[in-house]
Amino acid sequence: MDTPHPAEPSADQRASNTVTAVVGLAVAALVLVFLFNTNVFASNWYAFFKWVHVTGAVLWVGGGLTLTILALKAERSSEPAEMAMIARQAAFVGERVFAPVGLLVLLAGIGMVANLHLGFGTSWIVLGLVGYAITFLTGLLVLGPQAKRIGHLIETVGAEAAETQAAIKRILLIARVDEGVLLLVVAAMILKPFT
Ligand code: HEM
């Protein structure tokens, strides 16, 4: 009897993967060139941490903002299937992308503070740490469990059920408040108030 083989990637898929890999490598190589040719930072380590921190923040906050815009559009269209799709995609990127990237942003932030001997009591750093704690706890205690509940509701009662739609609206609303917290942290990082 033949053993089933996992599906081979198609030619289109292989071409797409190659382009992704080439773009990724080209960006990484040029970032390294920039990193070793900048003179505006205290050290190369600081420059590296800052690059990781700000690039991660762009991905995390920008990705969240895009989802918020798509969620607002879905809410206005009153299409249950579109709402369910946004909720599913938000749950996926929240768990697989934003959570690990958020951790990198925190670690690189700590790296910069240590590197510059800034002190963790500096007002805008306290705002960053408090903002991170709020968004981390919201993800762990509210968004994560609610996303699992919605997945279960979609499978059992369906995406169109009133209970599912109410749960989706609630989670998207909480995610919007969470995005507001992140935007405030970005403002605190840039403007450094109360210093
Ligand atoms: C919610 C998470 C955070 C986000 C979205 C975020 C975002 C940013 C952004 C966009 C910048 C660039 C600002 C600029 O260059 O003008 C920045 C800089 C910085 N952040 Fe954060 N940050 C976060 C959390 C933290 C935390 C928790 C710390 C410290 C432990 C921290 C430490 C720093 C430091 C030291 C800089 C460099 C400031 C400078 O060079 O002027 N950040 N952050």
C-beta 172 within 6 A of ligand 1:
no
Q: In this structure, which residue's CA is closest to atom 23 in ligand 1?
A: 128
Report pLDDT for 101.
98
Q: What is the pLDDT of residue 3?
A: 55
pLDDT given at position 8? 83
- Please give the pLDDT value at position 1: 46
Is 105's C-beta closer than 6 angstroms to any atom of ligand 1? yes
Q: How far is CA 76 from CA 71, 80, 83, 169, in A?
A: 9, 11, 10, 11
pTM above 0.85, yes or no: yes
Ligand 1 proximity of 106 Cβ (cutoff 6 Å): yes
Q: How far is the CA of 123 from the centre of ligand 1 (A)?
A: 12
DSSP the chain: -PPPPPPPPPHHHHHHHHHHHHHHHHHHHHHHHHHTT--SSS-HHHHHHHHHHHHHHHHHHHHHHHHHHHHHHHHHHT-HHHHHHHHHHHHHHIIIIIHHHHHHHHHHHHHHHHHHT--TTSHHHHHHHHHHHHHHHHIIIIIHHHHHHHHHHHHHT-TTSHHHHHHHHHHHHHHHHHHHHHHHHHHHHHH-TT-
Give distance in angstroms: CA of 53 to centre of ligand 1: 7
Give nearest CA residue, ligand 1 atom 43: 189
One digit per residue, the tens of pLDDT, for the chain of length 195 reads 455 566 788 999 999 999 999 999 999 999 999 999 999 998 999 999 999 999 999 999 999 999 999 999 998 988 899 999 999 999 999 999 999 999 999 999 999 999 998 899 999 999 999 999 999 999 999 999 999 999 999 999 999 999 999 999 999 999 999 999 999 999 999 999 998
Cα(185) to centroid(ligand 1), Å: 8
Q: Whose CA is nearest to atom 33 of ligand 1?
A: 109
Regarding the beta carbon of 104 and ligand 1, being less than 6 Å apart is answered: no
Going by alpha carbons, the residue nearest to atom 17 of ligand 1 is 189
**What pLDDT does residue 191 have?**
98
- Indicate which residue's Cα is closest to atom 18 of ligand 1: 189
Ligand 1 centre to CA of 56 (Å) is 10
> What are the CB-based long-range contacts (under 8 Å, 24+) for 106-114?
106/132, 108/49, 108/50, 108/52, 108/53, 108/56, 109/49, 109/53, 111/45, 111/49, 111/53, 112/46, 112/49, 112/50, 112/53
